Amino acid sequence: MKFFKTPNIDFIGKRYLSFALSIILLVSSFIAIAVKGPDYGIDFTGGTLVQVSFDKEIQLEEVRSALSGSEDLSFELQSIGKESIIIRVKKTDKTQDEISQNVLSLLQAKFTGSNIIVDRTEYVGPSVGKHLAKQTMYAFMFTFLGIIIYVAFRFKSGLWGVVGVLALLHDVFGTFGLIVMMGKEVNLTMIAAFLTIAGFSINDTIVLYDRIRENLRLLAKESFGAIINKSINEVLSRSIITSLTVFVVSMILFFMGGEVIHDFALTMVIGTTLGVYSTIFLCAPLTFEWEKRKRDRFKKAFKK
């Protein structure tokens, strides 16, 4: 299956337009994160746990519908048996008693005639503490270093590894910035989506780099820019089709997966799109731009 039978698109010639679009995205993301700031969920902030019992079997979706009537509550639900539900409410300025009473009044308004009892109310700490956050940062740093070393060894150029990591950061940071602009809550499920995006992004980039490496041997008489253009055009259908499968599944989850999976699916939709974009319009053009400038500097030095 091919979307483009004989593509001949000049990606290198359009590189400055793609660079400008990426700069706009990254600057906008930085401003949104710096000014508005991420809305971290209960996994990061902690909050209040309220356990309630009903006198009959109850569905989570019914409880979620009842609590969604309050804009002040950001919550997570967990079923305990058929008649008890744990409600974790994100940390707010309200006391535990006020939150408990608010939850109870919302449920009573929805389930009229039911006997609803608050079994317990207590504080819950964040799932992601400072130590875990620090370990995660170390894991990312070592992962990026590993990618650079691997690509440098495989393609005999550390530059390609650095560009691959920059594209990966572009995808994750750009996705995070757009999520902040939309006012979505950042939780552990969304973090899992960011890691998935990073995996897809670097995989797509490595495939493109591998094709460039092959063409550098086969088309030694061609210019570096022509080889890059040819390589991108050759893997264009593969990149789009591979990412399209993830995109379509993410869209299905977004529209039909329910509220629990909604933000994860949205993050995947945005990240998958940016991943294809960075592979095609950023990675190889950035490599070309660097090599071009290096050769220009070498020529100037040689003339002197």
SS (H, E, C) 199-211: HHHHHHHHHHHHH
Return the residue matching tokens 């979620």.
Answer: 64
Q: What angle do CA 193, 194, 197 make, to 5 degrees?
A: 85
Q: What residues have CB less than 8 Å from 7, skipping those under 6 apart?
A: 233, 236, 237
What is the model's pLDDT at position 303? 58
Q: What residues have CB less than 8 Å from 77, skipping those under 6 apart?
A: 60, 63, 64, 85, 86, 87, 88
Q: What residues have CB less than 8 Å from 275, skipping those under 6 apart?
A: 171, 197, 200, 201, 204, 243
**Start-end ranges of CATH 3.30.70.100 in the chain?**
47-124
What is the model's pLDDT at position 4? 60
CATH number for the domain running over 47-124: 3.30.70.100
Return the residue matching tokens 């590993």.
Answer: 146
Half-sphere exposure of 177 (CA within 13 A, CB side): 20
What is the model's pLDDT at position 252? 93
What is the model's pLDDT at position 2? 57
The CA distance from 59 to 73, in Å, is 19
The CA distance from 121 to 132, in Å, is 26
**Start-end ranges of CATH 1.20.1640.10 in the chain?**
15-40+129-303
The CA distance from 107 to 101, in Å, is 10
CATH number for the domain running over 15-40+129-303: 1.20.1640.10
List the one residue out of 172, 75, 84, 157 whose CA is nearest residue 124. 75
The tens-digit pLDDT sequence of the chain (304 residues) is 556 666 788 899 889 999 999 999 999 999 999 999 898 888 888 888 889 998 888 888 888 888 887 767 788 888 887 778 888 888 888 888 888 888 888 888 888 878 888 888 888 878 766 767 777 788 778 878 888 888 778 777 778 888 888 898 999 999 999 999 998 988 888 888 888 888 888 888 888 988 988 998 888 888 888 999 999 998 888 888 888 899 999 999 999 887 778 889 999 999 999 999 999 999 888 988 888 877 766 556 555 5
Q: Looking at the chain, how many residues does it have?
A: 304
Gyration radius (Cα) of the chain, Å: 25
